[in-house]
Amino acid sequence: MKIIVVGAGKVGEVLCKDLSAEGNDIVLIEKDEKILDKIISDFDVMGVLGNGATLEILREAGVKGADVFIAVTESDEINIISSIMAKKLGAKYTIARVREPGYSTDLDFMSSSLGIDLILNPDVHAATFIARNISFPNALNVESFSNNRINLIEMSIDEDSLLCNKKIYELSKFSGAKIIICTIQRDNEIYIPNGNFILKENDKIYITGTPDEIKRFYRDLKQQVFKINSVFIVGGGRIAYFLTEMLLKKKLDIKIVELDEKKAEFLSEHYENVTVINGNGVDINLLEEERFKDYDAFVSLTGIDEENILLSMYASKMGIRKTITKVSTIDIFNFLKLDDLQSIVNPKQIISNFIVKFVRAHMNQRGNNIITLYRILNNEVEAVEFKMVKDSKLLNIPLRDLKIKENNIISSIIRGNEIIFPTGNDIIRYGDHVILITKNKYIDDIDDILR
């Protein structure tokens, strides 16, 4: 597919990396020549120097023949205007990033009335990710499928865990929970396991299940399922704004520390039931004065990754049981050992996942059958929710009889109101939603898992 990206900031760079890796033809429009040259040299993309909201530059980039046009500059207005222009010039699909909180309730109306196919607010999606992780405090990370009916959670195996040194098929001896262990990370290796796989101390495992079944699994493991009633947030930017609204609906006690006086004042005026402190959240004395150790969860959302990492590590060391850390620079994962951190939120990667899902879904000749897509374990594993089409080769055949390639597991089948965690006897039907966990990247058609 031919894809035009406007804006070479952090999101634009991630999109160029991810979309070019999937074999798409990328044209990047950027006003800053140095930034443009760097991305062109780093990734397999073409570049056009200039303003993506002008006819001349859009035509030079070949927008008329574009399959997808994506505007992710720092300006919401430029993103909106350039997307409208691109559509008028012939781009098949248009995507715009819009971050202004005042627009957040109007995105669907803006999309339909302006003819923009997808309008995304990365801060809303990041806040949603954090709120979901707060709902599962025992998990390291949580993703959701089928409107939150199924979760994919990450957990670590401790030395005294009932899972330690057990084969996966033996789990039924001490737990009746309907869950599936679908991915395991051991040191630097990643496995899609079978029933004979032996779990070891320090393994990180991903399991799928309904929220209730996952909680049952924790109880069966004799793990205390604690509830979060209070949240301490450092950094009062856009993500904190949206997150606070979500957490107040859960009736949680919230305290926010924000260095910028205007931002702190805005939050204080907007959320009367939230304690907002204008101060430096990196100041340990201030944290102690505000009794941060008394809170159940600690969320670090400053604009500096290193500060967020150190704050969360300190909070964890001080006994706070749930920490969530914003890390915006993807490369930092490769340079730092972040095992001491719990949940990590990367807004740029979250928004890239949404856009990659959109692009893949529209690449497929059968139509938009990809509902949800997550990339986990440093993008080495993908979790994809497919809607089954009439001519799929997987339909109406017991799973045990399907010749499925290695490193694929069908972890869940959603059939109307029924959720199935399949065995070899189960079949997939037309219209089902199927969750696939795979190490075979770039799949846009579930039939590709067949030999």
Q: In CATH, what number is assigned to the domain containing residue 431?
A: 3.30.70.1450
Instruction: Say whether both 83 and 158 belong to one domain.
Output: no
- Identify the domain boundary among 196, 220, 244: 220
CATH number at residue 261: 3.40.50.720
Same domain, 137 and 153: yes
> Looking at the 3D structure of the chain, how many domains does it have?
4
- Same domain for 356 and 396: yes
Please check whether residue 272 lies inside any domain of the structure: yes
My answer on whether 239 and 136 are in the same domain is: no
Regarding whether 257 and 190 lie in a shared domain, the answer is: no
For residues 145 and 99, membership in a common domain is answered with no
- CA–centroid distance for 237 within its chain: 19
Which of 305, 325, 345 is a domain's end point?
345
pLDDT at 341: 72
> Are residues 331 and 282 both part of a single domain?
yes
Kindly state whether residues 111 and 77 are assigned to the same domain: yes
Q: Which of 68, 97, 120 is the last residue of a domain?
A: 120
Q: Does any domain span residue 225?
A: no
Same-domain pairing of 96 and 142: no
Provide the Cα torsion 26, 374, 8, 111; round to 10°. Answer: 90
Same domain? 305 vs 330: yes
| Structural domain range at position 266 | 230-345
| Confidence at residue 109, expressed as pLDDT on a 0 to 100 scale | 85
Mean pLDDT by 10 residues, the chain (451 residues): 95 94 95 96 96 96 96 96 96 94 80 91 94 90 92 92 93 90 93 94 94 92 85 97 96 97 96 96 96 97 94 94 88 58 88 91 72 89 94 95 95 95 94 95 90 90
216 backbone φψ class: left, alpha, beta (φ>0; ψ -120 to 50): alpha
Rg of the Cα atoms in the chain: 23
pLDDT at site 333: 57
CB neighbourhood size of 42 (10 A) = 12
Dist CA 402 CA 97 (whole Å): 41
Stated as kind and residue range, the H or E segment containing 83 is helix 76-89
412 and 374 in a single domain? The answer is yes
Looking at the domain assignment, is residue 176 inside a domain? yes
Statement to judge: residues 165 and 215 lie in one domain: yes
Rounded Cα distance, 214 and 220, in Å: 10
pLDDT at 157: 93
Looking at residue 340, what is its pLDDT? 61
The pLDDT, as a whole number, for residue 444 is 86
